[in-house]
Structure 1
Amino acid sequence: MDDPKYSKFSVSTTVYKTVNGQDIDLGVMIPKAAHSGPRPILVRFHGGFLVLGHAMYPDWFAQWAIDYALLHSAIVVAPNHRLFPESTGLEILSDIRDFWTWIQHDLPAYLKSVGSEVTPDYSKVLAFGESAGGYLAIMSGLTQPDLVNAVIAAYPMTYIDSDWYRVASSAKAPMGAPQVPVAVFEEHVKGTPEGKIFTGEFQPERLPLALSILQSGGFVGLGDDESLFPDRVLEKLSAERKVPFLFAFHGTEDSAVPCEQTQRFVGKWEEKFGKESVVGKWEKADHGFDGETTLEEPWLQEGLTGVTKAWIG
């Protein structure tokens, strides 16, 4: 929590949900320079294939996003949630629903309890996430349209019912990673006590597990319920339905999450809700390419223009 990246914030954590006697927490970051009264909310979902990662792991929190929050003196709220394979896709999404309930009902009292004089402005809510977090940000936008004004989805997982996630292949080598035997996945599942959940780690020790799951097509275990898949949820929505502004970006050479799937999803969004509802940006780069990107980057500025208008007004 004392990472230099967070030095301009007052950072604290609290539990928002308990499952089988095991707590699920979230981080709250309040800009030290923020004046009292209503402030915008930036909700940030972490990446990690829904298998690993932590809401407050600084190495995976892009500097531009931190600077963007500071620019608008926004309250940053970053939840952990149950992870796969200990939990299913529906269980993960139920945590996200309960998190949004906490945001709406418990955030004001929590801010007061930590001595802050800022309050949440529920008319200015942005959901942001990278990779698996981009998936959760998009799902939040689709299921919380009356609350979420804008979504930033960085190289998001979108078509999680596709062969990339559900069919075994030796061609999958994110960032040149080696092939990891399916036994790593299978033994992990066998060794997990019933009812045990996992909600995050600061060091990505579960990366071999995530690779084993991806390379063996193990994401089929997330489930098949229609509500898990952004494209299917989008397809069922009325074109007249209120939706947040979407800014999605992806590296065209992404070796972890297929760029063409994000491009297809953005196209479907634009087709249904119109050109003014979405911006997609495609850079020649691999996964996580925005780690050192600044707010001055032209492609990022172009996307954030629409986000800021929808979020802040």
Structure 2
Amino acid sequence: MDGLSVLRDSIPNENRFSVFNITSHTYKVVQGHEILLDILVPKRLLDPKFGTENNGQKRPLLIRFHGGWLVGGLRNHELWNSRWLYSLAFHNNAIIISADHRLLPESTIDDLLEDLDDLWSWVISKLSDVLNTSSNTYFENSGFRPSLQVDYEKIMVGGESAGGYCAIQLALRANKLAAKSQGNLPQIRTVVPIYPMLDLKAPYWTEKYPKNIAGNPQYPFSVISNYFEAMEKNKQIVSSTPMGNRGVLAAACVQHGCFLKLFGKDLDILLGQNDIHPEDVIASGAKLPPMLIVHGIQDTVVPVEGTDKFVELVKKYKSISTMDVKCIFSETSLMYARVPGDHEFDFVVGLNDCDWVIKGADFLEKHWIQ
């Protein structure tokens, strides 16, 4: 352990949500379908024993997106998340938002990106009021009224796998809006993509050949055609669902080289639509905040090579900017934890369990909190 590092609190491996007060909220409605987010507040912030002297302090914010190939997953799965990331938020008394979004293929990739924009608008305009309304009911009989405030200068966004893709997209889109506003809108201060889905133009996603995806068998193309046929007969918006057969669909699409078919457009359009691909956005001059990016070398679901290429692209275009208006790129604003492990290898990892997590937490606290 680095001599400058400190021991940090980790949330329990089992019953992870037991240390949070969780409330669910609708952040948008599409054709009568509510799209939800959860707000996770460390319970100690609502406890009079802890909260009286700390009441009213502004709290950091983590916005986190779940994985699931963009086709499945849930915001509120207790064990399907990076324990160390939630632990870091808990250790720093941060508020967490875990959000759903419309899922492919019932919705398009444009729909999904629109949801990210609308989530960000909700965070800016609604979160503070919702926090105080929901927190005041927690100890309504105690006489203590917690005052929860978000520090909009300390926002971190992160996510696993497909959630890593969403995290990068939100960071790019939100900080572009902040730049245009000339300081009138908040920006995201740190981004944490964890084995993110990237390089979606690569042969892994676009060409057919046998692929070992987390031990899945090689699926016939009929898995894909049958799903789309059934979907057309009963098309509806889906924004939260266990993986189940949707995971089989995604794996089959990857194996048959037609993953982008799930995005809802012709392939030639998808390959040329720059805002879908973070690499194209970076190449156009967009900036990311300081970034810790994590990927397991043995990942059999999302190849580590996509992250390798993305990191090199970020370095090439000097695409990391700090809160400083000079937008100075520095290697100290980018950390790549390229470590042993398969997909989801970090789900049980605590904050003090290994060197990369300890150094990663130091990095994130420097750029997010300090």
8 Å Cα contact 2:62-2:97 kept in structure 1: yes
- SS in structure 1 at match of 2:69: coil
Give the structure 2 partner of residue 25 of structure 1: 36
Deviates more, 1:250-259 or 1:296-305: 296-305
Give the structure 2 partner of residue 88 of structure 1: 108
Query: In the alignment, does 2:237 pair up with 1:197?
Result: yes
Structure with bigger strand share is 1
Query: In the alignment, does 2:165 pair up with 1:135?
Result: yes
1:294 to 334, 342, 350: 350
TM score, norm. by length of structure 2: 0.79
TM score, norm. by length of structure 1: 0.93
**Count of aligned pairs between the two proteins:** 307
Moved runs in structure 1, 4+ residues, more than 6 A? none
1:306 to 353, 357, 363: 363
AA matched with 1:293: V
Give the structure 2 partner of residue 282 of structure 1: 338
The structural deviation recorded for 1:295 is: 0.8
AA matched with 2:208: A
Deviates more, 1:113-122 or 1:281-290: 113-122
Quick one: distance in 1 between partners of 2:244 and 2:76?
Answer: 13
2:289 to 225, 229, 244: 244
Give the structure 2 partner of residue 164 of structure 1: 204
Q: Counterparts of 1:5-84 in structure 2 under 5 Å?
A: 5-34=16-45, 35=51, 36-37=55-56, 38-84=58-104
Deviates more, 1:187-196 or 1:38-47: 187-196
The structural deviation recorded for 1:17 is: 1.0
Which consecutive residues of structure 2, in runs of 5 or more, have no partner in the other structure?
1-13, 46-50, 137-146, 179-186, 319-329
8 Å Cα contact 2:82-2:160 kept in structure 1: no
Question: CA distance change for structure 1 residues 301 and 271 in 2, over 3 Å: closer, same or farther?
Answer: farther
Quick one: distance in 2 between partners of 1:195 and 1:204?
Answer: 18
- SS in structure 1 at match of 2:308: helix
The structural deviation recorded for 1:269 is: 1.2
Quick one: distance in 2 between partners of 1:20 and 1:14?
Answer: 17
Quick one: distance in 1 between partners of 2:259 and 2:170?
Answer: 20
Q: What is the CA RMSD across the aligned residues, in angstroms?
A: 1.7
Quick one: distance in 2 between partners of 1:309 and 1:20?
Answer: 42
8 Å Cα contact 1:245-1:306 kept in structure 2: no
8 Å Cα contact 1:53-1:204 kept in structure 2: no
Which consecutive residues of structure 1, in runs of 5 or more, have no partner in the other structure?
none
Q: Could you give the per-residue CA deviations for residues 220-265 of structure 1, whole angstroms, max 9, x where no partner exists?
A: 2224121000100011116xx5x31111111111111010110111
- SS in structure 1 at match of 2:44: coil
- SS in structure 1 at match of 2:254: helix
- SS in structure 2 at match of 1:135: helix
Instruction: Determine what percentage of the aligned residue pairs are the same residue.
Output: 31
AA matched with 2:160: E
